[in-house]
Structures are given as C-alpha cells and as structure tokens.
Amino acid sequence: MAKAFRKNQGGQGKRLRLLLIVSAVMVMMVLQACGNNAGSGGGKEASAPAGGEKAEAASGAATGNVPATLNFGYIGSNKLNLPGGAEGWGFHKGIIQEELKKHGITEVKLTGFPNGPDQTESLISGRLDAGSLGDTPAIIAYASGAKTRLISQSSAHSVGYLIGKKNGPKTVKELQGKTIAIQKGSFMHRYIAGLLKDEGVTGVKLVHMLSPDGTAALARGDVDAITISGVPALKLIDEGYTHLDDATQHPTLLGTSATVVSDDYLAKFPDFPKVWNEAREKALADLKQHEDEYYQFLADIGNTTPELVKKVSPISDIKDTAFTEEGTKLLEGTKNFLVEEKLAKKDFKISDWQLK
C-alpha cells in the first residue's frame, strides 16, 4: 500500500510539473500577443486622419516610424537661412513645420548649397533627406544612379542669362573660341550648352566658377562672358555689362525646379510626398494673401529690393500643383538634351522618376 501511495504521489508530482510548464507557456503566448497588438495599433494610429485627439495620436505614433528631424536642402545662402518660393515662405511663417508636426517631425534642419551638384552629393551620401534644386543637376544625379524620386516642380520658369564683359563680344556669335564662366551641372549649364548648339558656336571654353568668382573674373576681363541668373544678372546689366542673351528668348531652354527625396527616407516615411505637397500648397495659398510681404521677404533673402525680385521671381511663376504639363514637357526636353550631349550618363523615363 505504501508502495502504491509513493507511485501515486510521483504521478501527481509529474502532472503538477507539466501543469506549471503549460501555464508558463500560455502566459508567454498571451504577453507576446499583447505586444503584437500594441505594435499594429501604433501603425493604424499613424495613418489616422489629423484632427483633435486623432491628430495627437497620429503624431505620437508616427514618431516611432518617421525620423523626428527632416534634413532639407536648398540652393542659395542668406542671413535668414531660408529658400525662396512657397517652400521658403512656408518655413518663414511656420506653416510647413506645423503640418509636418502632425506626422511626428518636430524639427527641420535647412541647409543652403552654392549649386545643385553639391546638394545632390549630400543627398546621395545621406546627409540630406530631401531638397529643392534645379532640374539639370537633379536629372544628372538620377541618371548617374542616385536613389531619389522627384516629388514636385514648384516652378517652370528659371531664366539663365548670358552676360558679356564690357567692351567685349556684342553677340552670341562673337563668342566663337572665347571663354565663358559657367556653373557646371546647373540649369544654366544646360541653357548655355543648348544656346551655343542652336547658334552653331563652337570652340568655346567653358570654365566652372560659382557666381561670385565668375562675376569677379568678368570684371577683371579674365573671361569673356558668364552665365548667371536672378537679381545678380539684372544688376550686371544695370552696371553696363553686355546682355548677350537670356532663356526667355528660347522657351525650350528655360529651367525648372525639382524637389526630390531619397529612397531611404521614403522607406521611413512613404507618405512624405503627399504631406509635403499639401503643406507647400497651404503655404502658397497664404503667400498669395500677403504678396507685398512675400516680395519683401524675397528682398531680405537676396539683399535687394522688392522691385527687382518682382521682375525675376513673380508669384505667377509658382505652380499650385506638384506637376504641370508645361513643367513635365520642359523636364523631358532637358533630360533628352543632357543624354544626347552625354552630360547625363544614361537615359530613363521621367515617369519612372516622378512620384505622383
């Protein structure tokens, strides 16, 4: 009987240990399921529409997926550290920052670059997440393998000017065998290359110089002409330098702007193009309600006068949608020219690059 009791007690002990193991496994499964449900709930909250408590939930959830800081590049350098256009106005007024906050972006770091090629290098290296620049450097970078997507063209009327030195060439034809200072890889590079080809001018030496260096070289007579844009071009003309040509006389040689975002950033924030373009459109709508204030803002950026910026950067040039037929057509023409002239490494479909 004692032997039977010990046998029964041993069996109960085994059953007890088995019950404890099963219970522990069930507890672990429940805890794991709770963790999974919390994770999926966060994803759903991140995609919830903004507004009231839902906006707060979306913002709180998005911070787990979207980087809190957006690194954005633009062309130019000024004391305000801001670009122009609807984007610059949006940053100036805080409109874009407020829209981005709804998606977990609490800081925007803006970096100005002297030209497009420098900016694309920062995009490729990962120092930037997105940026606005001229179409030519953006196309050249993409054709060279840069992992970017085009998300908008806020302008389709970038004008390059060809300015000759004083007492120098009076026509484009007279630049045969002369030296022109250009910014290689910029939209003005595309403009001058297309102009010289159309005019049949050959033997021209193109020297890479940023605008301040090119202007100084022109004043010294070290170069016969320079390509330049915006208010600086108008100032040179007023100072008596020869206005040889500009892109307004050749509509197909006008440049467009390009806002691009890296593939890496899109992987973290797939909705960025939609969010960005909606924020930019809100900024543009506000800008149109404060035209005089906007032109003064541009004058402050460019250290000039509202009268001059109205001539080179009229509000009418700013597009109210991400893409237009006019802009896409110019982009296609620029891409084809760059490929034909071997300035872009390979051909591609604009539609494959655009993210609508």
In the block, residue with structure tokens 């040179």: 236
Q: What is the pLDDT of residues 327-349, one digit of tens each?
A: 999 999 999 999 999 999 999 99
Edge to edge, the sheet with strand 179-182 lists 205-208, 179-182, 225-229, 160-164, 242-246
What digits encode the pLDDT tens for the residues 99-146?
Answer: 999 999 999 999 999 999 999 999 999 999 999 999 999 999 999 999
How many other CB atoms sit within 10 Å of the CB of residue 240? 8
**What is the rounded distance in angstroms from the CA atom of residue 341 to the CA atom of residue 192?**
12
Picking from 116, 72, 96, 90, the residue whose alpha carbon sits closest to that of residue 256 is 116
Is 6's pLDDT higher than 70?
Answer: no
What global pTM score does this model have? 0.80
156, pLDDT greater than 50: yes
Q: Are 116 and 134 within 8 A, CB to CB?
A: yes
Query: pLDDT per residue over 17-42, tens digit each?
Result: 433 333 443 333 333 333 333 333 33
Q: What's the average model confidence in pLDDT over 58-84?
A: 81
Domains of the chain: 62-157+255-353 (3.40.190.10), 160-253 (3.40.190.10)
The larger pLDDT score, comparing residue 36 to residue 245, is at: 245
- What percent of the chain has pLDDT above 70? 82
Mean pLDDT of the chain: 86
CA distance 251 to 19: 83
Which regions of the chain does DSSP assign to beta strands (E)?
Answer: 69-75, 107-113, 130-134, 148-152, 160-164, 179-182, 205-208, 225-229, 242-246, 257-262
Residue 243's DSSP bridge partners are 163
Q: How far apart are CA 179 and CA 175, in angstroms?
A: 8
Predicted local confidence at residue 64, as pLDDT: 56
- Hey, how many other C-beta atoms are within 10 angstroms of the C-beta on 195? 22
Q: Tell whether the model's pLDDT for residue 356 goes beyond 90.
A: no
Q: Which of 273, 348, 319 has the alpha carbon at shortest distance from 103?
A: 273
Query: Higher model confidence: residue 12 or residue 152?
Result: 152
Burial class (CB in 10 A: 0-12, 13-18, 19+), 296: middle
Which pLDDT score, from 0 to 100, does residue 90 have? 98
Instruction: Give first-to-last CA distance, the chain, whole Å.
Output: 85
